Amino acid sequence: MTTATLSSPAAAAAPAVPLKQDATVIGLIGLAHASSHFGHLILPLLFPVFMKEFGLNYSQLGLLMTAFFVVSGVGQACAGFVVDRFGARPLMFMALSLFVVACVTASFVTGYAGLMLVAVLAGLGNSTFHPVDFTILNQRVSTPRLGYAFSAHGLSGNLGWALAPVFFAGLGAIIGWRQTYLAAAGLFVVVMGVLLTQRQYLHTTVARKVAPVAGGPQAEHDMAFMKLPVVWWCFGFFLLSTMTLAVVQSYAVSILKAMHGVSFEAATYTISSYMLCGAVGMFIGGFVAAKSQHSDRVVAWAMAVGAALLALCGTGWLGATGTMVVLAITGFAVGIGGPSRDMMIKKATPKGATGRVYGLVYSGLDTGFAISPLVFGVFMDRGWYGATLVGAGFVLLLSVGAALGVGRRTVK
């Protein structure tokens, strides 16, 4: 068995959907996705404060993020089943509520145990967003506009990442870090309020099981999708490509300082440029995804170019300025493939299993974030800075094979 075709119950021919309706759904899901990416950073942005306030070290702080991604990854795989059984909308509001509770809890923490509780709560909140978001997009957005929807989804996530440092640094300097956490809780409440007022656009239908007729074909078990090789190829793609992203986010600043003597500020701006270029790439990639019939090939080319650019940065031949510029361009190359990546997963998803498949596949993202520091942290500790970038490029190149493997196992 290979796989089925498009997953949405609305995939059959249907009357044209008004642009305004599609745009509203895309905008609401983008708002929710931005809030989840904002939630990724509610702990790491305050690490320097926690070290000073509670006397913590880097290993203890790193364990907080490991807890976050382990809980998020396991929860994400499980959330997909809940989405398919009960619908996406209830889990969206539960996730936002968990982020509110996490932020309020963070404002009162007095030590490491409290921070670990915040990590677990935030990880649970983060776990539902991908199966929820993609179930709603696949059901509520018309097929011709899905490429643009996936583009907006990825772009909104990057914007959420970009907002968090400004929010915590700006407000923290004025009202203090504890009050800033309360303000962040208020921000999540506002987002939840907007989504509640527009909740009719977020409704999804649930595929009802029909009792099998005696002597007829038996209904597939809920776990049957896990027998499909294509699902695990998708999981592998996310794991590998995310390991590379984790290297850039976690170590690029230290690598630039060590290899080229770049200042902390300039190195940080390079990472910001990487994310900004990635957002521009996702925007353009939405048009590519909407027109292309071979999503896997688009993804493969984008990741291959990104891998080559990362390896080039790792050689040290480009010098300080050249490395910073090329590293930022790498974000653009990888971003181009983002919407096609989501379209690739959609095409590989059996009908009626959208939440389950996206939940399992996107748990590969959390797994990649959890594994990457264990692998490349060893490189960094030994001073293999260039090799870290080359290694990240190699891992991204492996994801090319995974993307093509998905394409070969997907029914066209």
Is residue 212, in this structure, part of any structural domain at all? no
Tell me which residue has tokens 């270029």: 277
Residue ranges, the chain, pLDDT below 50 = 1-14, 210-219
Q: Write out the DSSP string of 203-243.
A: -----PPPPPPTTSPPPPPTTGGGG-HHHHHHHHHHHHHHH
Is residue 210, in this structure, part of any structural domain at all? no
> Both 278 and 402 in a single domain?
yes
Could you give the CA distance from residue 308 to residue 109 in angstroms, rounded to a whole number? Answer: 44
Is residue 214, in this structure, part of any structural domain at all? no
Is residue 220, in this structure, part of any structural domain at all? no
Could you give the CA distance from residue 36 to residue 386 in angstroms, rounded to a whole number? Answer: 32
Q: Which domain holds residue 56?
A: 19-202
Could you give the CA distance from residue 351 to residue 224 in angstroms, rounded to a whole number? Answer: 12
> Both 115 and 176 in a single domain?
yes
Is residue 14, in this structure, part of any structural domain at all? no
Among 202, 218, 243, give the residue marking a domain's end.
Answer: 202
> Both 182 and 266 in a single domain?
no
Could you give the CA distance from residue 285 to residue 287 in angstroms, rounded to a whole number? Answer: 5
Is residue 10, in this structure, part of any structural domain at all? no
Q: What is the pLDDT of residues 266-313, one digit of tens each?
A: 777 787 788 888 888 988 988 888 887 888 899 999 999 999 999 999
What's 184's domain CATH number? 1.20.1250.20
Question: By 3-state DSSP, what share of the chain in percent is helix, strand and coil, each rounded to 5?
Answer: 80, 0, 20
Among 167, 202, 237, give the residue marking a domain's end.
Answer: 202
Query: Taking Cα atoms as reference points, which of 187, 190, 151, 150 lies closest to residue 166?
Result: 187
> Both 181 and 261 in a single domain?
no
Q: What is the pLDDT of residues 197-243, one digit of tens each?
A: 999 999 887 755 544 444 444 445 556 556 677 778 888 888 998 88
> Both 232 and 279 in a single domain?
yes
Contacts of 75 (CB under 8 A, 6+ apart): 123, 124, 126, 127, 128
pLDDT value, residue 383:
85
Tell me which DSSP letter residue 298 carries. Answer: H
> Both 162 and 247 in a single domain?
no
> Both 89 and 170 in a single domain?
yes
Is residue 49, in this structure, part of any structural domain at all? yes
Question: What is this structure's pTM?
Answer: 0.73
> Both 171 and 282 in a single domain?
no
How many domains is the chain built from? Answer: 2
> Both 246 and 391 in a single domain?
yes
> Both 170 and 291 in a single domain?
no
Q: Work out whether the CA dihedral 186, 129, 14, 85 comes out positive or negative.
A: negative
> Both 238 and 321 in a single domain?
yes
- Judged by phi (left if over 0) then psi (alpha if -120 to 50, else beta), residue 282 lies in alpha
pLDDT value, residue 350:
66
Query: Taking Cα atoms as reference points, which of 28, 87, 2, 1 lies closest to residue 409?
Result: 2
pLDDT value, residue 65:
80
Could you give the CA distance from residue 370 to residue 243 in angstroms, rounded to a whole number? Answer: 8
pLDDT value, residue 220:
52
C-beta of residue 363 within 8 angstroms of C-beta of residue 73: yes
Is residue 177, in this structure, part of any structural domain at all? yes
> Both 232 and 153 in a single domain?
no
